[in-house]
Structure 1
């Protein structure tokens, strides 16, 4: 038995010695690992429509757009969020960068000046700070960072910027009054601001002339102050002169101006303290939106309720009668709504199928229907699909479209060629196109000649041995490009 074990040990040692004498085989991973890469790529496009004054639509001019028009600047950018203010616009990319355009007269664009911008311009002062969310109000802006900090800039009247004064800010400035508090959501209104913390608490600052700050008095607040009595809040909304919050339990509270019934309490009284909306008892609310003088509520079931001012039919009920109590919009009952937005005197809703409906005042094209007419009931915006986010401002609108592009793939991802040209063979590469087409193969800056360097028959590419024989010794990468989706690479060694 011991002699057998000794023989096995000697054999293993011999094999180890022989393996050490063999040349090492180089192995280079492809740049695009098929296991790690998704089968799909998401591309985003931003469209704007409505009033174009001061360049707020981002098209390089000041013209109104009666129908959605793509903002060319954002082709190739991955956009995450959009925000429409009174006369300016903010756009947030997946990289955490903020772009602004439109009116800059109060510094609300954050570029260190008061110049208008008719094309998107990156807010350089935020370089190195990854932004998580954006909000655009009446001539001012708020940004929320990944670290939970809030910066503000623009018009400072009534303390809406939260810096303890009424000064305008032309560059983003961190709100020191929120130091030590992790913020998860922000809202910018007509002249007041709301922030929601990770702990579910709400702070407010700015104009409190009608109780919209929720502190029990009609006074301005120039630094953030916690609203007593509100807890477990999951969403906030700041309107022209009123505020809405929804709790984790799906209950809605409102305060501020109630002149048109926009607080939903069945009367036209102002409220300086948050008051629960009893009319929604038993209805679990998912999201809220506060417009100039009206409100929208989205339920977990995908239904929409509206209340408040309806002078231009912005409530979507087919009439101009104000509604002091939440009323379901019957014109949307065939749709499951996933997002709502309230502008000054109009409304937008986004369905689960990626379609957008609008209603209310459309004089500047903010409804996107190609005309300036009032729409008394929800009407689908033609030509828009695959929409993922909507935003409504004073008189202009934005939508974010997400298009899923299937990626093509190749196999194998690496190949070898013989250093002896006389022994070289063709290399066959299989293609999975997923509806795309191969547009070319590149070796660095040089494009391979189809029909000479390679042949394609739709499902395979054959790299010619004469082409391979001309390659210098070493490893190089060929890039396969397609009509859509990501390029794929083949390492040849």
Structure 2
């Protein structure tokens, strides 16, 4: 879909307004499923090429994607300001008019949601904010005000909350500075977790499972039916549904950790992993020396299309991804994001940062234009340079540039 002049004028106006003394502002570009206008507000047509998305009045050099869901995109900046595009309409409360001082404002750190939109987030103080639902479970109509964090005297301080597509929830907690043991609680549903969170001493609301692993968590993510956790020491743990090679490790045998418990992804142990990403039945780990490791389903369940590089990976194995430059030398990989059946990586090509993509393109989420429904191998996206970060929603891809 071509970018029309009216839309481009709106983007240019937003950038000019947002700069207002700033040297640069962040511009988010997106491609993919747009059936709820979550990428571009003036249409519901999918975007098969990357376009600037309208972000409203808060574009600054520190804007980030807080949550990218099936129907809603939620953005946030370093001041804790939040706004949304798509199905779910979020409205920021004016905290100063509600008796809150500027320095007490919370900064969203870790968000979770489902196909309807954002359900909540953990903030920089360990507090939990929950976006309310009405009795039918649908998001309330009209613009929703983002509430203050829940204030329960017995509730623990949180570090991460992750919500899988099968509704299971995993939670970690704020640790003391000298603590070296991470506690994880699991719940069957978000409602079960919230009941426990409000009354953690009530025996009726006990977690489904409790786990302990050494270290301090750096990331906790959820996939279709499992969880992936990165520790500050670089170790990666996975647990949950082991189908489609999604855990990246053995789950049976004398020395194997059962699928239901956090187990080390042995193939990347000792490699100083710096970031993880997961979506659907695929996961990735990016090391500090810019090497990318990938595992999981080479195709969507029920699909005949296969991601070539994953097709020969055996259970318990992970793939070292190599994307060659024009001289057949491997490019350094700077960032990775995984959707449901598609992958986007940010590479350093000399002094230029570019995006390579592969996988499902049914909604144009690879941003390559044309009619291709699937890419079985890596392809460079034309016109994408000098990129800061890359993100994926289930059927969409985003990247951020400075202008």
* TM-score, normalization by structure 2: 0.71
1:168 to 1:202, Cα distance in 2 relative to 1, 3 A: farther
1:381 to 1:152, Cα distance in 2 relative to 1, 3 A: farther
Q: How far apart are residue 397 of structure 1 and its match? A: 1.8
Q: Unpaired runs of 5+ in structure 2?
A: 1-20, 97-104, 176-180, 198-206
1:100-111 equivalences under 5 Å are 100-104=84-88, 109=89, 111=90
Q: Which of 202, 211, 220 pairs up with 1:228? A: 211
1:178 to 1:185, Cα distance in 2 relative to 1, 3 A: farther
Kindly indicate whether the alpha-carbon contact (under 8 Å) linking 1:97 and 1:130 is maintained by their aligned counterparts in 2.
no
CA distance in 1: counterparts of 2:354 and 2:174, whole angstroms: 32
1:244 to 1:101, Cα distance in 2 relative to 1, 3 A: same
CA distance in 1: counterparts of 2:232 and 2:79, whole angstroms: 30
RMSD of aligned Cα (Å): 3.5
- Give CA deviations for 1:288-318 in whole Å, capped at 9, x if unaligned: 1111111111111111111111115999544
Q: Unpaired runs of 5+ in structure 1?
A: 1-38, 112-122, 158-165, 214-218, 404-493
Partner of 1:152: 130
Kindly indicate whether the alpha-carbon contact (under 8 Å) linking 1:314 and 1:359 is maintained by their aligned counterparts in 2.
no
1:311 to 1:62, Cα distance in 2 relative to 1, 3 A: same
1:75-154 equivalences under 5 Å are 77-78=59-60, 79-82=62-65, 83-104=67-88, 109=89, 111=90, 123-125=91-93, 127=95, 129-133=105-109, 135-139=111-115, 140-141=117-118, 142-153=120-131
CA distance in 1: counterparts of 2:49 and 2:337, whole angstroms: 18
Give the 3-state SS of the residue equivalent to 1:271 in structure 2.
coil
Partner of 1:343: 339
> Is 2:48 the partner of 1:66?
yes
CA distance in 1: counterparts of 2:287 and 2:247, whole angstroms: 17
- Give CA deviations for 1:35-90 in whole Å, capped at 9, x if unaligned: xxxx9823210111101111121332111000110013457711421131122111
CA distance in 2: counterparts of 1:315 and 1:74, whole angstroms: 38
Q: How far apart are residue 145 of structure 1 and its match? A: 2.9
Q: How far apart are residue 334 of structure 1 and its match? A: 1.9
1:319 to 1:282, Cα distance in 2 relative to 1, 3 A: closer
Q: How far apart are residue 344 of structure 1 and its match? A: 0.9
1:401-440 equivalences under 5 Å are 401-403=401-403
| Residue correspondences, number | 332
* TM-score, normalization by structure 1: 0.59
Kindly indicate whether the alpha-carbon contact (under 8 Å) linking 2:172 and 2:185 is maintained by their aligned counterparts in 1.
no
Q: How far apart are residue 338 of structure 1 and its match? A: 2.5
- Bigger Rg, structure 1 or 2: 1
Partner of 2:380: 380
Partner of 1:22: none
Kindly indicate whether the alpha-carbon contact (under 8 Å) linking 1:306 and 1:315 is maintained by their aligned counterparts in 2.
no
Partner of 1:359: 358
